Amino acid sequence: MKKIPVRHLTPGMFIHEICGSWMDHPFWKTAFLLTSEKDYQTLLQSGVREVWIDPDKGLDVSDDTPSLDAEQVREQAESLLSHTQQQSAQDLRVPFKEEIERARFIHARAKTAVTSMFQEVRMGQALNAEAAYPLVAEIHQSVARNSDALLNLARLKNKNDYTYLHSVAVCALMLALGKQLGLAGEELMHAGTAGLLHDVGKMMISDEVLNKPGRLTDEEFTAIKSHPVLGHEILLRSGGLHPIVLDVCLHHHEKIDGSGYPEALSGQEVSLYARMGTVCDVYDAITSERCYKAGWEPAMALRKMAEWQSSHFDLRIFHAFVRTVGIYPTGALVKLKSERLALVVEQHPASLLTPFVKVFFSVRKNCHLEPKMLDLSTGEDAVICAETPERWNFPASVLTL
- 90 is a domain residue: no
Q: Does the pLDDT value for residue 152 go beyond 90?
A: no
- 77 is a domain residue: no
Find the domain containing 216 and state its range. 96-325
Q: What is the dihedral of CA 319, 320, 324, 330, to 10 degrees?
A: -10
pLDDT of residue 290: 75
Q: Does the pLDDT value for residue 258 go beyond 70?
A: yes
Q: In the predicted model, what is the mean pLDDT of residues 301-316?
A: 90
- 45 is a domain residue: yes
Q: Which residue has the higher pLDDT, 20 or 335?
A: 335
pLDDT band for position 233 (cuts 50, 70, 90): very high
- 264 is a domain residue: yes
pLDDT band for position 92 (cuts 50, 70, 90): low
- 274 is a domain residue: yes
- Average pLDDT score over the chain: 88
Identify the burial level of 262 via C-beta atoms within 10 angstroms of its C-beta, where 0-12 means exposed, 13-18 middle and 19 or more buried.
middle
Q: Which residue has the higher pLDDT, 128 or 340?
A: 340
- 48 is a domain residue: yes
For the chain, first and last CA: distance in Å?
Answer: 35
Give how many domains the chain has, as a whole number.
3
Residue 58: phi, psi to the nearest 5? -165, -165
- 223 is a domain residue: yes
Q: Is the peptide bond before 262 cis (omega within 30 degrees of 0)?
A: yes
Q: Between 272-286 and 315-325, two packed helices, what is the crossing angle to 10 degrees?
A: 50
Q: Sign of the C-alpha dihedral, residues 161, 153, 112, 187?
A: negative
Q: Does the pLDDT value for residue 185 go beyond 90?
A: yes
Q: Give pTM, 2 decimals.
A: 0.84
Identify the burial level of 215 via C-beta atoms within 10 angstroms of its C-beta, where 0-12 means exposed, 13-18 middle and 19 or more buried.
middle
Q: Does the pLDDT value for residue 91 go beyond 60?
A: no
Look at strands 68-69 and 333-336 and give their pairing: unpaired
Percent residues over pLDDT 70 in the chain: 94
CATH of the domain at 320: 1.10.3210.10
Domain boundary (304, 325, 346) is at 325
Tens digits of residue pLDDT in 191-203: 999 999 999 999 9
